[in-house]
C-alpha cells in the first residue's frame, strides 16, 4: 500500500467517503454498514487466502439488496478510475522529475541530435510524420455517455482541489460540488436501456473530439513546436499535422447488418455538421479577438475595408461555415446539393485563416498570431472540414457474392467458382474497360444492392472525408481488385486506398505473397496512388492460434511486407488492428510501436483505438496530450532509430515457441470436445449478448468459438479472471524452451529484443490480473460436475504460465518491478472480489427457469459486468 502515491490515495479516500455519504443518505446507515462489512470480509479473504469469509457475508444478503450492493462496489471502482486518471495529469513538484509523456519527445530529439541527425532534417522528419489513430466503436465501452460526462466533471473538480493556496470557503465549495456529482452518478443507471445504433456510436466518437481532442491537439502541437525549437532551432511548418484521426464508427459493416449505406451517408454528414459547428465557435472567438487594423496589402484587398479587415474576412468565413452547417443538417433529411456558400474542401477553410495569420506576422503582430488563430489553424490541419476520415470495412465474402450475382446475370458463370487466375483476368479486363459492367435497369438482390449502395456513397463523398476501404478476411489479390471494380461501377473517379486485412494465422503467412502478386500487376500499380496500405489483424489471429503464435506471425508478416514493398519500390503503410487487451494485441502505445520490426515504421503508423481505451487515453484533454506525445515520440524513434534485427538464434527459438504455443492453444480450444460447453457454462458469454454495449451482434454467425467475435471471446474470460486467451499456449512454449536449457537465451531476448521483451511484459501484466481462486468459484457455482476437471486443468496451465514467466524474470512475484501497480491491483481486488462472488451467484440464478424473468437479477448481473470491466480497466 505504501507504494501508492499519497495524493492518489487521498483522492481515492475522498471519493470513497463521498460515495459512502451518498449511500447513507439514500439507503440508510445499516446498509452502509453492510457494505463496509463486505469490504472488510473481502480484505480478510485475500489475507487468509480464501473466499469463505466473503461468501458468508454475501450469503446474508436478501434479494432486494443484491442490486444496490453490486452498484456500490461498481461505483467505487469507477471513482478509483477517475482518481487514477487524474493522477496522470497532476503537476509534479519542481523537485520531482517530469513524467515520461512530457519528456519523451524532448529527450528523444536531444538523443537524435547527439547521434548525428542534422537539425533541419530532424525538424522536417518530425513535421512530415503520418500518424493516423482510427477510433472504433467495438463494444467494450461499458459506461454510459451520461456517466462519462459526470466522471469528467469529477476529474475537473479534483484538479480544482489540487492547489495548496485554496481558501477554506473555496475548498468547501469544491467538496460540495464533488458530493453533488457523486450523488448524480449514484442515482443514474449504469446500464443503457437500449442498444446504441451505429449513428449513436459515431456521435459518441464526435463527443470525444468536441470535449477533449479539440482542446488537446493545439496544446500537443505547441509542445511539439517548443521541443523542436529548443533542439533544432526552428519550428514546424504552419500546416504540419503529424497526427490525424480517422474512424470506423458508421463505416465498419463487417458482420454488422445495422451499418448500411444510409447510415454511412448520415455519419459523413453529421461529421461535416460537427466540424462546421466547432470551427464556427473558433471563428466567432477570432472575430472578437482580431479587432486590430494593421494588415497586409493582400488581406486588405480581400477585406475591402481598412477599419477592421480581419473581422471582415472572418465574417465572410463565418457566413460560409453557417451555410455549411445548415446544408449538412438539411441534407440529413433529403438529397440536397450544396449551395455556393457551402465549404467543399479543406483549402477553402484554410486560406482565409492562413491569410490572417500571414498578415499579423507581416505587421509584427506575431504574438497575436500565435494565440487562438494558430490553434485554429492547427485544428484545420488536423481535423479539417470533415472532422475524421471515415474508413469503410466489409468482409471479402460479401464482395465475392455480389460479383457472383453479377457474373451469373451477365451469363459469364459464377465468380465464386472461378480460380484465382480466372478472377484476376476478369477483374483486370473490366477495370481497364471504360464501359459500365451493368445496365442501368439491373435489379440486384438485397445484399448485392447494399454493397453497391455503399460503393455509391463512397463515390459521391468528398475524397478528404474518407480514409481507406478495408477488406476483412482478405486472402488473395482478387479480393482487392474486386473492391476496385465495384467502386468503379459505382462511379468512383478517383483513387482510394483499398486495404487487405490479414487476420488468421494462415492469412498472415500469406500476406506478403498476396501483396507481391498485387504489385506485380501493371494496371494495379498504375491505379496505386500513395503508399500500399496493409492491415494486420491482432484479434482474430490471436483467437485463431493463441497470442504466442499470432504475435510471431504478425511480426514475420510485417518483415516480409517491408521486403516486398522495398523490392517493388513502393511505400508501405501498415495498419495495426489492435485492441485494448493483451489477447487482442493491446500494449502501451510507446512499447508497442518500438517493438515493431525494423523498417516497418518508416514515418507512417496507423492503428485502431478501440472501445473504452479511447476514453482512457483521450477522454480528458491533458491525458490526450500525454498520449499523443507518446505516439509521436515512439513513431519518430522507430523511424530514425529502429530496434535491432533479431539474431538468428532468437528467430529459431521464436519459431519453436510459436509452434509449441499454437499446438497447446488449439489442443484446448479446438480439440477438447467439452471446451465450448465449459466456456459457456463457466463464463457470462451467453449473458453478454444481452448487454446493450455496441451496435454489432456478438457473433458473426451461428456456431462455436470460431463464430464468436474476438471481443466477447476475451470479455467473457476477463469477467471470470481466468483471462485464458491472453496466455494460453505460453505455458507450454516457455516450458519446453526452459526444459531445453534455453533460459539464458530467453533472458537475452527479453533484455535486448523489444519485440520479445514487450510480449513478456504484457504477459506478466495479464497474469498478475488473473485469479485462479475466483475462476474456481465460477466453476463451483456454474459448471456441471463432469466439466469441472477441465477447469482444474486450465487453472493448472495458468499456474504453469505464471511459474515460467517468473523463471524468466528471476523475480519472486509477478510485477516485482512495478510495486505501485501491484499495490493498485491489491486495492482494487478488495472491491472486485465481492462483484465476482455476486456475479457467480447472479449467473446461477439467471440460468434457473424463472431467473430470466427476474428483472432485479438481470439488472444486478449487468451492473456486475460493468463494474468488473471498470475495475480491470480493459474488457475487450
Grid cell for residue 794: 486450465
* Contact present, 533 and 393 (Cβ < 8 Å): no
pLDDT-based confidence at residue 578 (cuts at 50, 70, 90): confident
- Give the residue-averaged pLDDT of 157-179: 90
pLDDT-based confidence at residue 691 (cuts at 50, 70, 90): low
- Give the residue-averaged pLDDT of 89-103: 54
Among 47-51, 257-261, 824-828, the range scoring the smallest mean pLDDT is 47-51
Provide the pLDDT for residue 710.
58
Side-chain-side CA neighbours of residue 272 (13 Å)? 30
Provide the pLDDT for residue 702.
54
CATH topology of domain 396-610+635-640: TIM Barrel (3.20.20)
pLDDT at residue 703 is higher than 60:
no
For residues 845, 850, 854, 859, the Cα torsion angle rounded to the nearest 10 degrees is 40
Q: What are the angstrom distances between the C-alpha of 649 and each of 744, 746, 753? A: 12, 10, 12
Provide the pLDDT for residue 146.
79
Provide the pLDDT for residue 827.
83
Using a pLDDT cut of 70, give the percent of the chain over it: 93
Provide the pLDDT for residue 715.
84
Provide the pLDDT for residue 114.
93
pLDDT-based confidence at residue 506 (cuts at 50, 70, 90): very high
- Give pLDDT tens digits for 299-329: 999 998 778 999 999 999 999 999 999 999 9
pLDDT-based confidence at residue 581 (cuts at 50, 70, 90): very low
Among 3-7, 496-500, 682-686, 745-749, the range scoring the smallest mean pLDDT is 3-7
Among 323-337, 439-453, 681-695, 836-850, the range scoring the smallest mean pLDDT is 681-695
pLDDT at residue 97 is higher than 50:
no
State the Rg of the chain over Cα. Answer: 28
Provide the pLDDT for residue 776.
95
pLDDT-based confidence at residue 695 (cuts at 50, 70, 90): low
pLDDT at residue 625 is higher than 80:
yes
pLDDT at residue 98 is higher than 50:
no
How confident is the prediction for the chain on average, in pLDDT?
Answer: 90
Grid cell for residue 439: 445496365
pLDDT at residue 109 is higher than 90:
yes
Among 150-159, 479-488, 514-523, 703-712, the range scoring the smallest mean pLDDT is 703-712
CB atoms within 10 A of CB 127: 18
Task: Give every CB contact of residue 430 below 8 A, 6+ residues apart in sequence.
Answer: 437, 485, 488
For residues 315, 316, 322, 328, the Cα torsion angle rounded to the nearest 10 degrees is -150
- Give the residue-averaged pLDDT of 581-604: 74
pLDDT at residue 140 is higher than 50:
no
- Give the residue-averaged pLDDT of 187-201: 83
Beta-strand ranges (E) seen in 526-678 are 532-537, 572-577, 604-610
Q: Where do the structural domains in the chain lie, given as residue ranges?
A: 279-372, 396-610+635-640, 648-817
Provide the pLDDT for residue 584.
40
pLDDT at residue 99 is higher than 60:
no
Grid cell for residue 141: 465501452
Provide the pLDDT for residue 305.
75
Q: CATH classification of 279-372, choosing from 3.40.630.20, 3.90.380.10, 1.20.1440.90, 3.90.120.10?
A: 1.20.1440.90
Partners of residue 188 on adjacent β-strands: none
Provide the pLDDT for residue 767.
96
For residues 392, 394, 398, 399, the Cα torsion angle rounded to the nearest 10 degrees is 50
pLDDT-based confidence at residue 583 (cuts at 50, 70, 90): very low
Among 188-197, 516-525, 640-649, the range scoring the smallest mean pLDDT is 188-197
Provide the pLDDT for residue 91.
56
Grid cell for residue 661: 504455443
Per-residue burial over 132-166, b if 16 or more Cβ lie within 10 Å, else e, is: bbbbbbbbbbbbbeebbebbbbbbebbbebeeeee
- Give pLDDT tens digits for 402-433: 999 999 999 999 999 999 999 999 999 999 99
Provide the pLDDT for residue 697.
58
Query: Model-level pTM?
Result: 0.91
Provide the pLDDT for residue 705.
61
pLDDT at residue 749 is higher than 90:
yes
* Contact present, 123 and 234 (Cβ < 8 Å): yes
Tell me phi and psi for residue 579, to 5 degrees. -105, -170
Q: Helical H runs in 461-596?
A: 477-489, 505-519, 522-527, 539-545, 547-567, 589-594
pLDDT-based confidence at residue 92 (cuts at 50, 70, 90): low
Beta-strand ranges (E) seen in 333-491 are 389-395, 466-472
Provide the pLDDT for residue 90.
65
- Give pLDDT tens digits for 255-308: 889 999 999 999 999 999 999 999 999 999 999 999 999 999 999 999 987 789
More confident residue, 476 or 610: 476
Provide the pLDDT for residue 874.
54
Distance CA 582, CA 247 (A): 22
* Interaxial angle between packed helices 477-489 and 420-432, expressed in degrees from 0 to 180 and rounded to the nearest 10: 30
More confident residue, 709 or 116: 116
User: Is residue 216 packed enough to be buried (19+ CB in 10 Å), middle (13-18) or exposed (0-12)?
Assistant: buried
Provide the pLDDT for residue 194.
74
Distance CA 619, CA 45 (A): 35
Among 46-60, 437-451, 493-507, 556-570, the range scoring the smallest mean pLDDT is 46-60
Residues designated as active site = 138, 543
Provide the pLDDT for residue 862.
86
Amino acid at each position: 500500500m505504501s507504494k501508492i502515491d499519497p495524493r492518489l490515495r487521498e483522492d481515492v479516500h475522498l471519493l470513497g467517503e463521498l460515495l459512502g455519504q451518498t449511500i447513507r443518505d439514500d439507503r440508510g446507515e445499516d446498509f452502509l454498514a453492510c457494505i463496509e462489512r463486505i469490504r472488510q470480509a473481502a480484505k480478510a479473504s485475500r489475507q487468509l487466502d480464501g473466499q469463505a469469509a466473503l461468501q458468508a457475508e454475501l450469503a446474508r444478503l436478501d434479494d432486494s439488496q443484491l442490486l444496490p450492493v453490486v452498484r456500490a462496489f461498481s461505483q467505487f471502482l469507477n471513482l478509483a478510475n477517475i482518481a487514477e486518471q487524474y493522477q496522470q495529469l497532476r503537476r509534479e513538484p519542481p523537485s520531482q522529475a517530469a513524467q515520461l509523456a512530457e519528456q519523451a519527445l524532448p529527450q528523444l530529439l536531444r538523443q537524435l541530435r547527439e547521434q548525428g541527425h542534422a537539425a533541419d532534417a530532424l525538424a522536417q522528419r518530425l513535421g512530415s510524420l503520418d500518424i493516423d489513430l482510427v477510433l472504433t466503436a467495438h463494444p467494450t465501452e461499458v459506461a454510459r455517455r451520461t456517466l462519462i460526462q459526470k466522471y469528467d466533471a469529477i476529474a475537473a473538480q479534483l484538479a480544482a482541489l489540487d492547489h495548496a493556496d485554496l481558501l477554506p470557503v473555496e475548498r468547501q465549495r469544491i467538496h460540495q460540488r464533488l458530493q453533488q456529482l457523486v450523488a448524480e452518478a449514484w442515482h443514474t443507471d449504469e446500464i443503457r436501456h437500449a442498444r446504441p445504433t451505429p449513428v449513436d456510436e459515431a456521435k459518441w466518437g464526435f463527443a470525444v473530439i468536441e470535449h477533449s481532442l479539440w482542446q488537446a491537439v493545439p496544446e500537443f502541437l505547441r509542445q511539439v513546436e517548443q521541443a523542436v525549437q529548443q533542439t533544432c532551432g526552428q519550428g514546424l511548418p504552419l500546416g504540419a499535422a503529424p497526427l490525424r484521426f480517422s474512424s470506423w464508427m458508421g463505416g465498419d459493416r463487417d458482420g454488422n447488418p445495422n451499418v448500411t449505406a444510409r447510415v454511412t451517408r448520415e455519419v459523413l454528414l453529421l461529421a461535416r455538421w460537427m466540424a462546421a459547428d466547432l470551427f464556427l465557435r473558433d471563428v466567432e472567438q477570432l472575430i472578437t479577438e482580431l479587432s486590430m487594423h494593421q494588415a497586409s496589402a493582400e488581406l486588405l484587398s480581400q477585406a475591402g475595408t481598412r477599419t477592421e479587415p480581419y473581422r471582415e474576412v472572418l465574417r465572410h468565413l463565418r457566413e460560409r461555415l453557417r451555410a455549411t452547417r445548415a446544408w449538412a443538417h438539411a441534407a440529413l433529411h433529403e438529397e440536397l446539393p450544396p449551395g455556393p456558400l457551402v465549404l467543399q474542401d479543406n483549402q477553402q477553410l484554410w486560406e482565409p485563416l492562413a491569410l490572417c495569420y500571414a498578415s499579423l506576422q507581416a505587421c509584427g503582430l506575431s504574438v497575436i498570431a500565435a494565440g487562438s488563430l494558430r490553434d485554429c489553424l492547427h485544428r484545420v490541419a488536423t481535423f479539417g472540414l470533415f472532422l475524421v476520415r471515415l474508413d469503410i470495412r466489409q468482409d471479402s465474402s460479401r464482395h465475392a457474392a455480389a460479383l457472383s450475382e453479377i457474373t451469373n446475370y451477365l451469363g459469364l458463370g459464377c465468380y465464386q467458382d472461378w480460380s484465382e487466375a480466372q478472377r484476376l483476368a476478369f477483374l483486370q479486363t473490366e477495370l481497364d474497360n471504360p464501359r459500365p459492367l451493368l445496365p442501368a435497369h439491373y435489379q440486384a438482390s438485397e445484399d448485392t444492392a447494399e454493397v453497391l449502395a455503399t460503393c455509391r456513397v463512397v463515390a459521391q463523398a468528398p475524397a478528404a472525408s474518407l480514409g481507406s476501404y478495408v477488406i476483412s478476411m482478405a486472402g488473395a489479390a482478387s479480393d482487392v481488385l474486386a473492391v476496385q471494380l465495384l467502386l468503379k461501377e459505382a462511379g468512383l473517379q478517383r483513387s482510394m486506398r483499398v486495404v487487405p486485412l490479414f487476420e488468421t494465422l494462415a492469412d498472415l503467412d500469406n500476406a506478403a505473397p498476396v501483396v507481391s502478386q498485387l504489385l506485380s500487376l501493371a494496371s494495379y500499380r498504375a491505379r496505386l496512388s500513395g503508399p500500399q496500405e496493409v492491415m494486420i489483424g491482432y484479434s482474430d489471429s490471436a483467437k485463431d492460434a493463441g497470442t504466442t503464435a499470432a504475435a510471431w506471425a504478425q511480426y514475420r508478416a510485417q518483415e516480409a511486407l517491408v521486403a516486398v514493398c522495398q523490392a517493388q519500390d513502393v511505400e508501405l503503410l501498415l495498419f495495426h488492428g489492435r485492441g485494448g487487451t493483451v489477447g487482442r494485441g493491446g500494449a502501451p502505445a510507446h512499447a508497442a510501436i518500438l517493438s515493431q520490426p525494423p523498417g516497418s515504421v518508416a514515418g507512417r503508423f496507423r492503428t485502431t483505438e478501440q472501445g473504452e481505451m479511447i476514453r482512457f487515453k483521450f477522454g480528458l484533454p491533458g491525458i490526450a496530450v500525454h498520449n499523443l506525445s507518446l505516439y509521436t515520440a515512439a513513431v519518430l524513434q522507430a523511424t530514425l532509430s529502429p530496434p535491432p534485427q533479431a539474431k538468428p538464434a532468437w528467430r529459431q527459438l521464436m519459431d519453436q515457441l510459436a509452434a509449441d504455443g499454437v499446438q497447446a492453444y488449439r489442443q484446448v480450444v479446438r480439440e477438447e470436445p467439452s471446451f465450448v460447453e465449459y466456456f459457456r457454462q463457466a463464463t457470462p458469454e451467453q449473458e453478454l449478448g444481452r448487454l446493450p454495449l455496441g451496435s454489432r451482434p456478438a457473433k458473426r454467425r451461428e456456431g462455436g468459438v470460431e463464430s464468436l467475435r474476438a471481443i466477447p471471446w476475451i470479455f467473457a474470460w476477463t469477467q471470470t479472471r481466468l483471462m485464458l486467451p491472453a496466455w494460453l499456449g505460453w505455458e507450454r512454449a516457455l516450458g519446453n524452451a526452459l526444459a531445453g536449457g534455453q533460459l539464458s537465451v530467453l533472458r537475452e531476448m527479453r533484455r535486448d529484443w523489444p519485440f520479445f521483451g514487450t510480449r513478456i511484459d504484457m504477459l506478466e501484466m495479464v497474469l498478475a490480473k488473473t485469479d485462479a481462486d475466483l475462476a474456481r468459484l465460477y466453476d463451483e457455482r456454474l459448471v456441471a460436475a463432469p466439466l469441472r476437471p477441465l477447469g482444474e486443468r486450465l487453472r493448472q496451465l495458468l499456474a504453469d504460465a505464471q511459474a515460467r514467466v517468473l523463471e524468466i524474470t528471476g523475480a519472486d512475484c509477478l510485477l516485482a518491478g512495478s510495486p505501485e501497480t501491484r499495490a493498485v491491483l491489491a486495492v482494487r481486488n478488495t472491491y472486485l472480489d465481492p462483484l465476482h462472488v455476486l456475479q457467480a451467484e447472479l449467473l446461477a440464478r439467471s440460468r434457473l427457469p424463472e431467473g430470466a424473468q427476474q428483472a432485479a437479477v438481470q439488472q444486478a448481473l449487468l451492473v456486475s459486468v460493468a463494474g468488473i470491466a471498470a475495475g480491470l480497466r480493459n474488457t475487450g
